[in-house]
Amino acid sequence: MDILAAAAAIVLIIEFGVVEEKRDAFVAISTERIEEIRAFDGNQSFDVLVDEARPGVVVYVEKWDDAEKQAAFYDWWVAEGMTERLSPLVTAAPKISRFEVAGD
């Protein structure tokens, strides 16, 4: 029996290694359009997290209605130049964990 619905909500946890001295700039760029991001079709939540004990790390936690809506958002993100703007501030490719919400 498949416990996941066909179009289950998804949660992404994306951990970025960032240049410590540039973390504030990374956060500022990531959040400057946060209301628009949160209003994007299919978005249930989008948060940018920091930990003062880990100044070289920024985490996004995103929840989407389904993978297709998240993919459409990512296409928009890239087209808007966000990836290009953030690239000089990171130290490596992000670690991405993707989960489906069981029982939705």
Query: Which domains are delineated in the chain?
Result: 10-99 (3.30.70.100)
Task: List the beta bridge partners of residue 13.
Answer: 61, 97
Query: Which percentage of the chain shows pLDDT scores above 90?
Result: 88
Q: Does 104 score more than 80 pLDDT?
A: no
Angle at 8 between CA 63 and CA 16, to 5 degrees: 35
Indicate the helix (H) or strand (E) that contains 71: helix 67-79
Burial class (CB in 10 A: 0-12, 13-18, 19+), 61: middle
Give the pLDDT confidence of 30-71 residue by residue, as tens digits.
999 999 999 999 999 999 999 999 999 999 999 999 999 999
Neighbours of 99 (CB within 10 A): 12
Q: Write down the pTM of the prediction.
A: 0.90
- Average of per-residue pLDDT values in the chain: 93
Instruction: Give the pLDDT score at 6.
Output: 57
pLDDT tier at 103 (50, 70, 90 boundaries)? confident
For residues 28, 30, 32 and 35, what is the CA-based torsion angle, rounded to 10 degrees?
A: -140
